Chains A and B, each alone.
Chain A
Amino acid sequence: DTGVSQNPRHKITKRGQNVTFRCDPISEHNRLYWYRQTLGQGPEFLTYFQNEAQLEKSRLLSDRFSAERPKGSFSTLEIQRTEQGDSAMYLCASSLGRGRGSSPLHFGNGTRLTVT
């Protein structure tokens, strides 16, 4: 098990372009989370999946953002018509879904997006 994998590690794009990030969770984890982190801040929750179902979305996730997790395995996060304010580190995490919420999140190394 190699942990949570995110690709690409870095993405530079021009304003107005669309970008897509991929996350491969730990194989036995049924929960998958997306967070956004800007410099000097803690991660901000974006959305969360249990298996293939998207159960919660933050109001931070505007209609330009969409996330999918087909077949409950890997997930993609797409940002359409990128804006400079979208520049951030996008973190993916996964966890086990059993227990009383005591399972920690295991994070990937993130995708750093720069919008020029």
Chain B
Amino acid sequence: AQKITQTQPGMFVQEKEAVTLDCTYDTSDQSYGLFWYKQPSSGEMIFLIYQGSYDEQNATEGRYSLNFQKARKSANLVISASQLGDSAMYFCAMRPHRGGNDMRFGAGTRLTVKP
């Protein structure tokens, strides 16, 4: 069974600084994808970034980058140059590349950006 762990219920960061949100996972699958989603207070889930388990380079999307350490089974999200609009819940998720393809989510981290 897959398990996603986000150990930081809440994080604070000063505007314009970088912040790292932690995610570890447990799976017996060899091939899988890792995703991060943002959920603002309005409720919609917004896809941010994807990392495949066989990708050799860490994924980047604008101010978002994924620090992927496969041996440690961690996929931390790094947000650079934080903005007030980054305040939201952030969810790490994993999806195996085989079979059912259902995506499992962690419990989330609430990020607050301070001015």
Taking beta carbons and an 8 Å cutoff, which residues of A are in contact with B? 31, 33, 35, 40-45, 48, 55-56, 58, 89, 91, 93, 100-102, 104-110
Complex CA gap A107/B105 in Å reads 13
In contact, B100 and A42 (Cβ under 8 angstroms): no
Stretch from B14-22, B45-53, B62-70, B73-81 forming part of the interface with A: B45-53
**B44 neighbours in A (Cβ, 8 Å):** 107-110
Q: Which residue on A lies nearest to B44, using beta carbons?
A: A109
Q: Which residue on B lies nearest to A93, using beta carbons?
A: B45
In contact, B31 and A91 (Cβ under 8 angstroms): no
Give the shortest distance, in Å, between A15 (CB) and chain B (any CB): 24
Given contacts A42-B108, A91-B45, A100-B97, contact A105 B31 (CB under 8 A): no
Give the shortest distance, in Å, between A58 (CB) and chain B (any CB): 8
Instruction: From A43, A89, A101, give the contact of B101 (CB < 8 A).
Output: A101
Complex CA gap A33/B50 in Å reads 18
Q: How many residues of B contact A (CB 8 A)?
A: 28
Across the A-B interface, the 8 shortest Cβ-Cβ residue pairs: A42-B105, A107-B45, A101-B97, A104-B47, A56-B100, A100-B97, A45-B102, A43-B105
Give the shortest distance, in Å, between A41 (CB) and chain B (any CB): 6
In contact, A100 and B45 (Cβ under 8 angstroms): no
* Residue from B4, B33, B45 whose CB has the most chain A CB atoms within 10 Å: B45
21 pairs, CB–CB < 8 Å, chain A vs chain B: A33-B103, A40-B108, A41-B108, A42-B105, A42-B106, A42-B107, A42-B108, A43-B105, A45-B103, A45-B104, A48-B100, A48-B102, A56-B100, A56-B102, A101-B32, A101-B98, A102-B97, A104-B47, A105-B47, A108-B44, A110-B44
**B4 neighbours in A (Cβ, 8 Å):** 42
Instruction: From A42, A106, A109, give the contact of B91 (CB < 8 A).
Output: A42
Complex CA gap A45/B97 in Å reads 16
**A107 neighbours in B (Cβ, 8 Å):** 37, 44-45
Encoded as 1 (CB less than 8 Å from any A CB) or 0, chain B from 81 to 115 comes to: 00000000001010111101111111110000000
Complex CA gap A31/B32 in Å reads 18
In contact, A89 and B96 (Cβ under 8 angstroms): no
